[in-house]
A and B are shown apart, each in its own frame.
Chain A
Amino acid sequence: MIRVSSEQVAQNVLYGIQDSYSKLSTAISQSNSGLAIQQPSDNPAGTTKVLDFNNQIADLTQYDNNMSTASGFMSTSSSALTSISNLLQQANQIGLEAANGTNDSTDLQGLASQIGDIITQVAQLGNTQYGSQYVFAGQQTSTIPFAQGAQGDYQYNGGTAASSDSAINITVGQNQSMQINVPGEQAISSLICGSAGPPAVASILGKLQTDIADGDTSAISSANSSQSDLGQLSTAMSAITDANATLGSQITQLTNMQNTNKATITSLTGFASSIEDVDLPTALVSLQSAQTAYQAALESASQTMQNSLLNYLK
């Protein structure tokens, strides 16, 4: 038989009550907060994983924001390019009409002035802004890319490949970037910007305008000559159409990537939650059993500690 002293009973009862009370307290705070990890010591390896997951989620969310910005930028560029394509179609029609040789000089002046309007509109479209950014200015997004020079000519003031400030790249994934702009230098500049030279070269639309005004039909259109005004216009048009098509496929690609990102974010959030959050039914069951254990400890204390031989001595 083990000798049991009064003090020992008191100690054991106290230890039992404290132990079950502290377990009850843990169970209460877990089911209250819904968190299995309230501080790193609750699960150190899990905490590191949760922090890693949260970093990845934050990064992906940021990429997602970047891609949304990029989509807006590219859609704006794309619709401007579409409008420019339409204007070039008109210019082509006007050029064909001027080249059929049945126009008198008044007609030609009228047609030439229509080309002049188109030049102005193309320049305006070339100065399209997304927010405060000029989308066709390369990296010089705060500079008006197409400004009218002293001779009424347009000049391109945006970034160029030669000065390495033409491409705007944004981060769309880890170590993954995408060019989001169509530099005006490539697509638009040749249409409306001449070069002062030497040798002086007129812009495509500018030359067309001059040749129409002069009634120089062979310069406007000659069969099988890509050097004619309309031939060059057609080359420029297909360049713009190509750029626009590339933008379109990039926008689709971004949308796909955003969808993938969202799915990844959802599953990462799920992983983090499975580590970080308590399973509510389990938490409630352990709360219930901790409560029962605590009540049992109190009950047994109240029953055993009241008794001693004194109760029975007369």
Chain B
Amino acid sequence: MPSTFFGIETAYSALQADQAALAVTGANIANVNTPGYSRQTVTMQTNDPWEPASAGPASPGPLGTGISVGSINRVVNAFVNQQIYSANSQNGSLSNLTTMANQVQSAFNEPSGTGIGDDMTTFFNAFSTLASDPTSESDRSTVLSAAQAVVDQFHSVSSALSQIAPQVQTQVSADVTQVNQYATQIAQLNGEIRGQVEQGEQPNDLEDQRDELINKLSGLVNVNTTNGVNAGTGQPNGVVDVSIGSFSLVQDTTAASLPSTVSTASANDLGLQNSSGQVVPVTGGEIYGLIKSQTLVAGYQSSLDNLASNLASAVNSIHKTGYGLDGSTGNEFFSASTAGAGQTQVTAANISLSAAVANNPDAIAAAVPITPTPATGEPFASGNGDIATQIAGLATTPVMGNSSLDDYYNNLIGQIGADAQNFTNESDNQTSILQQLQSQQSSASGVSLDEELSNQMMYEQAYQAAANVMSVQNTVIGTIMSTLGSVSTTS
């Protein structure tokens, strides 16, 4: 026969369990919009029944002793989480690359009718016009101003390009600092979570925090995660190890420090390099996007430099052989503005008109020398425009391998466009994939208000019913106390 208060204990266990369930529901509702929060569910379990020592009419079989909260678990889809990390890394690098590619396109400003290509065409056409009348002062001035426009356009595109990825190292260092901070926090959380797991507890919120940190980390750099196991029991110990490729970032409760020096030794092997020269290859995330952007912009810059230098050398080699109206010869047309000691390579940033022709239209060589050289008079005919014609012909002459200057430039623009289109498409795809994955994750882990409200009603009604049971028990005991327990005291 159970004790008189047996029923009260049972009802009380129900009150406690329902209250706990209401608290979890409340927490879920409170966190409906918290990023990284996984909804928690209460698992109730029936208490062990009370069994009488000996069964008999007064002591029926096992009696239920109520309910208790078995565990409070968070709902996560670990498989989807892994995919999200990977998609996040892709997305981080692609959004960076897309931004870079769009900036590069703005720098070149094609097809607009005002880019380098159009200025080069105007320049060559000015020479073609000069060839028709080499003595015309106005045609000569037009050549100079067209050349100045080409030079200015090279400078402006080059300077715009150089501003796209100027502080990549600074930005990467900032990102690496962030990565190392996350790593330290993850290692710390690993320790706390392992402690609680070993005591049989469910550190749901700490695990959410850690997942959110790994999620942020994956936006910065590509990460892999592995769940740690207890060496003794072979059971999961709650620890998550994080690695970047083969570099172990978080191992148990220790965080390694990711080096921050950008390494672009080979185009296919971008990474970060420590003081002893070892490179951690990076293949995803914002850090990869930054490093890759830098190499791509450097590539475009070098193509542009190549174009400027070939333009200068092609024009110069013809121009040097000709005569200006003032009888000057052997002059270069273009030169490097920062001419220091020795020969300076012409680049897009330093191409300029040579000192000989700048502000001196008559020094522009349009004429070939007369052969044989006349004994008297000028060694050239002022009306000869053959040099000007040859220079004008450079627009369509293959001077860069099999490409003319125009072809080379147009292909460069095509290449930039194709890169930008690639990045934009991939980025759109990744955004859409990430959206899908987040939706799947949210389907499992996200809080549904309707669901929580339903649960709330359910637990509230169960609580009311248990309280009612308690009240009935109270009446029952009251009856015993009032009718049987009233002992008249003798005076």
Contact = CB atoms under 8 A, between A and B. Distances in A.
Contact of A44 (B106, B389, B414): B414
Given A7-B32, A43-B417, A171 B131 contact: yes
Interface stretch (B6-14, B233-241, B264-272, B380-388): B380-388
A309 B450 CA distance: 5
A100 B369 CA distance: 52
Interface string B378-415: 00011111100100110110000000001101110111
B406 A55 contact: yes
A1 to B, nearest CB: 11
Contact of A39 (B396, B420, B439): B420
Nearest to B431: A15
Nearest to A170: B132
Contacts of B132: 66, 69-70, 73, 170
B149 to A, nearest CB: 14
Given A55-B395, A308-B453, A139 B448 contact: no
B449 A4 contact: no
Contacts, number: 203
Interface in B446-480: 446-450, 453-454, 457
A44 B421 contact: yes
A59 B395 contact: yes
B303 interface: no
Given A47-B413, A170-B131, A171-B393, A141 B406 contact: no
Contact of B383 (A54, A140, A174): A140
Contacts of B106: 39
B443 A6 contact: no
A123 B136 CA distance: 24
A55 B424 CA distance: 28
B135 interface: yes
Q: How large is the interface on B (under 10, 10 to 19, 20 to 34, 35 or more residues)?
A: 35 or more
B117 interface: yes
Interface stretch (B50-58, B121-129, B283-291): B121-129
Interface string A272-311: 0000100000000000000000000000000000001110
A313 interface: yes
Interface in B271-296: none
A37 B39 CA distance: 47
Nearest to B442: A8
B227 interface: no
B212 interface: no
Contacts of B395: 55, 59
Interface string A116-138: 00000000000000011100011
B453 A313 contact: yes
Contacts of B370: 163-165
Contact of A41 (B381, B410, B420, B443): B420
A62 B420 CA distance: 33
A195 B84 CA distance: 96
B111 A51 contact: yes
Given A6-B449, A309-B453, A12 B424 contact: no
Interface string A59-76: 101110110011001000
A175 B390 CA distance: 10
B39 A5 contact: yes
Interface in A140-166: 140-143, 159, 163-165
A4 B128 contact: no
B393 A5 contact: no
Contacts of A139: 367, 381-384
A53 to B, nearest CB: 10
A4 B381 CA distance: 87
B192 interface: no
Nearest to A3: B443
Interface string B432-449: 000100110011111111
Determine the main DSSP class of B at the interface with A. Answer: helix
B449 A309 contact: yes
Contact of B450 (A8, A42, A47, A308): A308
Interface residues of A, number: 61
A177 interface: yes
A40 B111 contact: yes
A41 B421 contact: yes
B232 interface: no
A196 interface: no
A45 interface: yes
Contacts of A54: 111, 113, 117-118, 121
A41 B33 contact: no
B152 interface: no
A3 B33 contact: no
B33 A7 contact: yes
A141 B110 contact: no
A45 B414 contact: yes
Contacts of B406: 51-52, 55
A2 interface: yes
A25 interface: no
B340 interface: no
B349 interface: no
B444 A3 contact: yes
A174 to B, nearest CB: 6
Contacts of B32: 6-7
Contacts of A140: 381-383
Contacts of B439: 8, 11-12
Contacts of A11: 435, 438-439, 442
Interface string A165-191: 100111100110100000000000000
A58 interface: yes
B449 to A, nearest CB: 5
B448 A4 contact: yes
A48 B447 CA distance: 51
Contact of B417 (A40, A62, A132): A40
Interface in A1-38: 2-8, 11-12, 15, 37
B185 interface: no
A50 B111 contact: yes
Given A4-B448, A6-B446, A55 B410 contact: yes
8 contacts: A12-B439, A40-B421, A45-B418, A51-B117, A55-B395, A55-B410, A308-B449, A309-B454
Given A40-B414, A41-B418, A48-B413, 15 more contacts: A2-B443, A8-B446, A12-B439, A39-B420, A40-B108, A40-B413, A47-B413, A48-B417, A66-B132, A131-B133, A132-B133, A142-B383, A168-B384, A170-B132, A308-B453
Name the 5 nearest CB pairs between A and B, nearest first.
A40-B417, A5-B446, A141-B383, A139-B381, A41-B420
Interface of A: 2-8, 11-12, 15, 37, 39-45, 47-48, 50-52, 54-55, 58-59, 61-63, 65-66, 69-70, 73, 131-133, 137-143, 159, 163-165, 168-171, 174-175, 177, 276, 308-310, 313
Interface of B: 32-33, 39, 101-102, 105-106, 108, 110-111, 113, 117-118, 121-122, 124-125, 128-129, 131-136, 367, 370-372, 374, 381-386, 389, 392-393, 395-396, 406-407, 409-411, 413-421, 424, 435, 438-439, 442-450, 453-454, 457
